[in-house]
Amino acid sequence: MSNLRQAFADKMLSVGADDPRLVVMVGDISHGILKPFAAEYPQRYYNVGICEPTIVGMAAGIASTGLVPVAHTIAPFLIERSFEQIKLDFAYQQLAGNFITVGGAFDYAQLGCSHHCYNDIALMCQLDNTVVTSPASDYEFSELFSQCYDQGTINYFKLTENPHNVDFTGQVELGKAIVVEQGHDLTLLAVGPQLKQALSAYENLTAQGHSIELIYIHTIKPFDAPTVINSIAKTKAIIVCEELSEHGGVYDVVMRHWASRDKAQFKQLAIKEMIHDYGTYEQLCQVAGLTDKHISDHAITMLENKKA
């Protein structure tokens, strides 16, 4: 089973061994798994504490010297709370760096909405020179990090506690969608951890005789519009499944690229408003309407509409 936080720690150690420019800063999390890095490179490891805007400012100062910073803590605090610092210290100053978070969407469901984060992708996509990803397996993160961590961009890696566990060895390329299954009746577009639910829905729908195209997105910016648009042109129906706010998510990107094209059916399954409930990740997926059953039910309705 994938463990993205451990994959992050392992990747920092391996890249840090080859690249002496790599500097890791954390906001009082992940100490245990980063002990090997801290022990090997104590001059390149800083626990800044629960001072997320300060982490961003320090990272910018480090970047300005030619080093490669990695800032790591919980998504709502590093991205939403510190967005002004990212905007001014990195984007405005045209600096490059890496922001790696955990606790996106409602991964920390039992800690309540203070630890939820639905808007980070939308925020980071608005800035100049950003690469925005939502890897949902350890292999994806490792490959995506290698492909862009030192390329002069502001890179955001949103790690999930709920990996999909699909083996995409040799298929992960920054900015490229993965066509998991081909079909012609309807397209399911899954973003990051929603692939697990979409796969279950795919199996249910194909068992009923429907031809479903399943596409997986790990990179939101740059967005692989040709793959998605070509699929919609073929199936004339798409459901976008994303653990993001319904405002500014991947669905909006899809619609922007499809605008003025032929008529098709569109459905977004996303987080409609702030979730005040406590519970498990699975329970909050139910509250948000992001389960395999929700996907299957909406797909059946759309397929019936195509026949009408």
pLDDT for res 200: 98
| Beta strands 97-102 and 154-158, pairing class | parallel
3-state secondary structure of 303: helix
pLDDT for res 63: 99
Confidence category of residue 307, pLDDT binned at 50, 70, 90: confident
Instruction: Tell me what the mean pLDDT of segment 244-266 comes to.
Output: 92
Of 220, 186, 190, the closest CA to residue 291 belongs to: 190
Architecture of domain 4-158 in this structure: 3-Layer(aba) Sandwich (3.40)
CA 85 to chain centre: 21
Confidence category of residue 80, pLDDT binned at 50, 70, 90: very high
3-state secondary structure of 251: helix
- The C-alpha atoms of residue 8 and residue 10 are separated, in whole angstroms, by 5
Cis peptide preceding 226, ω within 30 of 0:
no
- The C-alpha atoms of residue 261 and residue 281 are separated, in whole angstroms, by 37
pLDDT for res 294: 98
Structural domain spans, the chain: 4-158, 178-307
Domains 4-158 and 178-307 share a fold: yes
Place of tokens 């290698």: 146
pLDDT for res 262: 81
In order of 243, 276, 278, the CA distances from 115 in angstroms are: 14, 11, 11
pLDDT for res 259: 83
Has residue 40 got a pLDDT over 70?
yes
Digit-coded pLDDT (tens) for 192-240: 999 999 999 999 999 999 999 999 999 999 999 999 999 999 999 999 9
Digit-coded pLDDT (tens) for 89-115: 999 999 999 999 999 898 998 888 889
- The C-alpha atoms of residue 281 and residue 258 are separated, in whole angstroms, by 32
pLDDT for res 261: 78
Q: If residue 12 lies in a helix (H) or strand (E), which one and from where to where?
A: helix 4-18
Has residue 159 got a pLDDT over 70?
yes
Has residue 32 got a pLDDT over 80?
yes
Instruction: Tell me what the mean pLDDT of segment 47-59 comes to.
Output: 96
Confidence category of residue 1, pLDDT binned at 50, 70, 90: low
**CB contact at 8 A, 29 and 108:** no
CATH of domain 178-307: 3.40.50.920
In order of 95, 217, 257, the CA distances from 127 in angstroms are: 12, 20, 19
